[in-house]
Every structure is written in structure tokens, then in C-alpha cells.
Amino acid sequence: MADYAADIAKYTKDVDQDKVDAIVKYCGIALRNRDSSLVSAGDPKELATVRDGFAKKKLGLEPDEAAAAIDKVMQTMTGVRNKSRVTVYYLLAEQTGNLDKL
């Protein structure tokens, strides 16, 4: 999926392309592999990776705050089988008011 902004725009308006680019840069090589470019909402280990990686290290969220925000993002994306990591990260940053940290 090359057009990350278009995917994010399905869930929010006024997508900031600079923030999208920052997330793509943060994810780096992980986006080259289909499996690692997606977030599995049904896999507790994957959600822990999002919580302990991006949410904690990049956004500075505490575990409980991050888990609650991740749950909201997953609810927002209900019905989407292949959740783009970039979209999940963008919505997580937006949900927690941390877009400025990207």
C-alpha cells in the first residue's frame, strides 16, 4: 500500500502528509514486508508491540493509556481485515493528541 494518506483519510479528515511521512520513516524497512506492514488486532503480542514500541517510545504514552487508545483505534477500524501499520500509528497519535510528536 503506497498511498498511506488515502487509507488514513477513510478514518479522519485533514491528514497531515508530513506526519504520514514521519511514520513511514519511523517504520522503515518493516513496511517492505507485507506481514510486518500490517497490525493484527486479534494478536495480543502484536498489540503489545504497538503499545511498548511506537506508543511508548515515540508518543511517550503510559501502558494503560496506550492500551486504551489502541483499543479505540481498533474499534474505529473494525471490519478492516488488513490494518495498515502506518494508519494504525497515525490514528493512535491523533487519538492521543500526539501528532506533534511525529
**pLDDT at 2 exceeding the cut of 90:** no
Above 70 in pLDDT, residue 6? yes
- Determine whether 50 is exposed, middle or buried from the number of CB atoms within 10 Å of its CB (0-12, 13-18, 19+): buried
What CA–CA distance (Å, rounded) separates 91 from 55? 11
Report whether 92 contacts 86 (CB < 8 A).
no
Give the confidence band of 102 by pLDDT, cuts at 50, 70, 90: very high
SS3 sequence, the chain? CCCHHHHHCCCCCCCCHHHHHHHHHHHHHHHHCCCCCEECCCCHHHHHHHHHHHHHHHCCCCHHHHHHHHHHHHHHCCCCCCEEHHHHHHHHHHHCCCHHHC
Res 24: pLDDT = 96
pLDDT at 1 over 60: no
- Mean pLDDT, residues 67-92: 96
- Chain segment 16-43, per-residue pLDDT in tens: 999 999 999 999 999 999 999 999 999 9
The C-alpha cell that represents 65 in the structure block: 493509556
